[in-house]
Structure 1
Amino acid sequence: MAEYFSPGVYVEEFESSPRAIEGVGTSTGGFVGMTVKGPTIGAPSLVTSFADFQRQFGGFLSEFTHGEYRYLAYSVEQFFINGGTRCYISRVVPEDAAIATAKAGILSMRAANEGKWGNRIQVSLLSTNRRKMQLIKKESDTVYTAKSVEGFREGDLVEFAGEMNRISAIFENTVTFEKKFSADPVDTAIVPKKVLYSVEMDVTIRCDGDAETFSGVTLNPTSPAYLGRKLSGSRLVAAAVEPSDALDNPVSVILGKGVLSGTISFTGGSDGTMEAVNAGVFIGEDNGPGQRTGIQAFLENDVASIIAVPGVTIPEVVVALISHCENMKNRFAVLDIPQELRKTNDIIEYRNMVDST
């Protein structure tokens, strides 16, 4: 409101008609539904093309396995075909869906999320020894001076003449080993014939054409290359590693004595059954930031301007979606018509029933 500081006549103009409702952009969508794979907890995932959707969430679902709940992938495809530029996906799964798992020795793994897609994960282990250490002087039975200790850390395993040993301490170029070597490892030559080799492995995770490779992995928990630490960066699996003080090749510790390469398969993953699907699956739960599911996950997203749960006409889900949009005040709901409604008048009546404008 204007402020007046002296007497006089002032004219103020006001709009006499209601302001027009500003249009809402439709280039950013939000979708809730079932997919082949993908996260089911936390903020919805950004997708910028249908190819990106396929990479993150897989392709089309089968009518035979998912029935009326299979339409999310089709909707996302049409969204981009019709000019959409980006969308966010909140994946849901039936209540009896299961995560694929695998265990080998001290290594326990599970797929990143629910679904039988996880049964196609293959984890390959291969023993490697890329780094070398030359010992140039013996100080005592277990203490030596090395020409260089670059690339080695306390706790690392080394191999010399087929014998395993562990570095227990490093101070400058002085290296202390866990036990005495059976053979003399000292070699002062410029081009040494006797060297210690690092003991490590390469881990490759594959699934449906997607591959992740982690090189130079060890079982030394103090190392940046520790198996548990390396696998924490995987998009495909989550892993837990039990402590091990074995003086043995890490592949052998996991796969069995004397084994230097091998593959671990996953089992137990399930898409669940459609009988275990209910309104709550799509509505989701509000367990706080980073832990929300279903429609509730979009409480963490303030950029989606349209929200849909493709193919789902369960009344409780429809009401929850409309309420979400009304509460957020920056988006609108796109609803499907129940398949049993065939007549125009019935469809109009349904629309009027759910219309909240």
Structure 2
Amino acid sequence: MSPAPAGLARRPRPGSPHTAAAAAAARPAVPAATARAWAELLRLPAVFTVPGDVLAGTAAAGARPGRPAVLAVGASVCLYEAGMTLNDWADRAEDAVARPHRPLPSGRVRPRAALTAAGTLTAAGLALAACAGRRALAVAVPLAATVWAYDLKLKHTPAGPAAMAAARGLDLLLGAAAAGRPLRPALVPAATLAGHTCAVTLVSRRETEGGSPAAPLTALAATAAVTASLLPPAPRPAAPGPAADRPAVRTALALGYLATAARPLAHAALHPSPVLLQRAVGAGIRATVCLQGALAARAGAPAAGLLTAALAPVAARLARKVSPT
């Protein structure tokens, strides 16, 4: 049978693969810019720093990750992304001057859509926390309140860094609460993570216009102190096996944290320009993953620590395409 002349091709039968292909081709494609705009708004590379909070909290509580931990990770991710979206919504007027390329001032995402997304993500996060258990919900509620308070009121006040630090600390406690264990063993790891977060937040406050070396120097000192707290004590003779490997994992993760965060902070302290401050903030965000892994290893869960640290290269690779700050 000879092919039909051009323009007189037979119509495909309803339900045939040709019909489905034609319908798919007829649908308007979602603009790539829209998907990228939402990726920028949500700061997707930074989301890989979130699961480690729950894993470190679960390890600190002496539990193994299970279904409640998975639900808590989902809740943590939703609340984190709600904060990212709400952050840009609250700063849209300021960003129109300092960061006109951001999704909201550039018009690629509408403010109403961003605010709706923040509310929806918050509700989803609380719902997932409720599924993880009453204790998890009891931590997720103040966590969500802290996120909204920071973005809408506290960010540009002296209490801003402390509020951001509190949110990270609560996020780690969410892992312990989801495990159904007492929160007390997780308080020191939560404080350690909060201290790192506070230091990075102090640097981020001047990342658009530059500033003095005080903030990066403070963050550098905090990084050194956190690293010292993560390193194991002097080695003791031990039989080969998992117990002997634990200090090595903890040391490697602690030094990975130091290597990721310290050098960019030193550069920013020597020359606190916007570019170098932004690099220091990005490095501080990525270093959070190694910190979480080291905290898990210090709590006796080296496998969870290594699993957490494996997210760092993914975040770094994605950060080349979408800025985490």
Larger radius of gyration: 1
Which structure has more strand as a fraction of its residues? Answer: 1
Which bin holds the TM-score, normalised by the shorter protein?
under 0.3
Which structure has more helix as a fraction of its residues? Answer: 2
Q: TM-score, normalised by structure 2?
A: 0.20
Q: TM-score, normalised by structure 1?
A: 0.19
